[in-house]
A and B are shown apart, each in its own frame.
Chain A
C-alpha cells in the first residue's frame, strides 16, 4: 500500500473541504473494500479522510413510514437496530460477509462502491430509497449507473439513505461461498400500492429492477405469479462459479422463494 496522510474528520463540512482542496484525497468509511483495494495498489489516495468519527453520519432514525440510516452506520448496527422497524433490511445486513466485516463495513461505503454483487443496492433499488448527499438527494432509480458506477460526483459524500418502509420485505441471497457475496440475490419489497423487485449479482450492468416480476407480483402476490417467468441470459454474468443461464434461472426462483416466505403461515 502506498503511504498517505490519515485524517479523522469530525464533520461532513470538514471532510468535504479536504476533498475540495485536494482532488487526490479519498474517503474512508469502514475500509472493508477500500483497504484491500489499496493493498493491491488499485487506489493510491494522497490523503484518506475517515468518516467514522462523524456522529451525524451514524445511526438509524424512524419517522412515520420512513427509515433514515446514516452513511457511516455499520452493517452490524443495522442488523441489530432495524429488526423491529424494517426486519427485511436487518436480515440483509446480518448476512453481509461475516461478523468482523459487519462490525466495520458501512451502508454508505457499500452504496458508494456499488459492487455488482453487493447486498444493500438491491434493497435500496427495490424500495425506491433516497440517497442523501452533502449536495442533494438522488432517487435510487437515478443513482445506480452500472458496475461500480453511481451518480455520486467527485468529492460528493453520501450522508444518509432514506428508505420507505415496506409492509413486508424479504432478501433471498444465493451465496457465492468463496467470496460470501451473492452469486445472485433478490430483494422483494411489498408496499400498499406496488411491489419492488431488485436483483444483484446477476447482471453485467450491476443491480437492476426486474420490471416483469414487479408487474406480476403487483397483480398477484403469489409464488406462482413469477415461477413461470424467465429472463434472457444475455447480459448476465458468466464466471467460474456459474453461467449466465444459471444466474438468469435463479432470479424467478429466488423471487418466488421470497414471496413464499412472506406469504407462508
Chain B
C-alpha cells in the first residue's frame, strides 16, 4: 500500500468520525460523551432536565440518563452551586448550567469563597470538581441582564480556571477537559455564536454564517480533549498580534480580512491558565498588540493581558498596546450594536497601532 493511499484512508476515517455540529450540539455532545463514560457526571440547573435547557444544550440527557442525572433544580444559583460543591465532595462530578451568565451573581459567594478555595483551605484534603457553564455575551437583544460577559470577575479569583470557546470543535474538546479536570472551571459560552459564527454588525461583511460552512463546525462524534491553557492561532501574520476569545475572534478575523492588515490572530480559548508562551512568541515577532473583548473595559480581562504582554514583551514593543472592549456601561437594549465592539472599532485600533514607527 502506498503512503498516499494510507493517508487518504486515515483522512477518510477521521472525516467519517466527524459530524457537522453547531456550538449547542457540540456542547451537548460533550455532555453525552462524559456522562456515558462516567456515572458520576451529571448536569444540573434551571430547566436543564425535562426541557433540555433554554438554549437546548442539555437536550436528550434526561431521556438517556434519567431525571437524577439531568437534574432540574430550584431557581437559586447560590443553592445550585452549593449543592454541586457538596455533591462534588461526595464523589460526583457536577456540571452546573447557569441559565445566563448574568445570573451567576447570586452564587458568587459559593463560587469565590467556597468552590475556588476549598482545596487550598483544607490543605489539599477536599476538592469539588465542578464545571459551571454559562451562556454569555450580547447580540441577542437581551438588554442588561441577558448580555453580560463576566469572565474577568472569575479570572481575578484564585483557584478557578476560566474558559471561553469560539467554535464547536473547541467547545466540545474544552468542555470535556473542563469536566474531567479536578479543579473548578468556569466555562463561558458566547450565545451569539451558538448557531453560527458572527462577524459583527457592520455593514461591510457583517452578519452571521452557519457552522455548516465552517471547518471548526466539523466535530468528532467521540471523546477528545483540548487541553486547558493552550491558545490557537487563527491566522498567522507579521504586522500586529490580535488577542481575542469567544465571539470577538470572528469579528476580529473579519476586521483583519477586510482591512488587509497582516495581523496574527490568537484565540486564547482558555483565559486562566493563559497560554502566555504563545502570546509572547507572537508579540515578540510582531512588536504590536491589540487586545479585544466584549466585556466592559475597566479592570476587564484585557487589562491583565496588557500587563502580561508588557511584562514579557516590553523590549519588543513598537507601539502602545490597544484595547478594544465594550463600554463601561450596562449593556443597552436599543443600542447593542453601538455597544458591541465593531469591526470598524477594531480596524481603527489596528491602524492606530501600525501608525507608530
A-B complex is real: no
What is the interface of chain B, defined by CB distance below 8 A to chain A?
A: none
Binding site for B on A (CB under 8 A): none
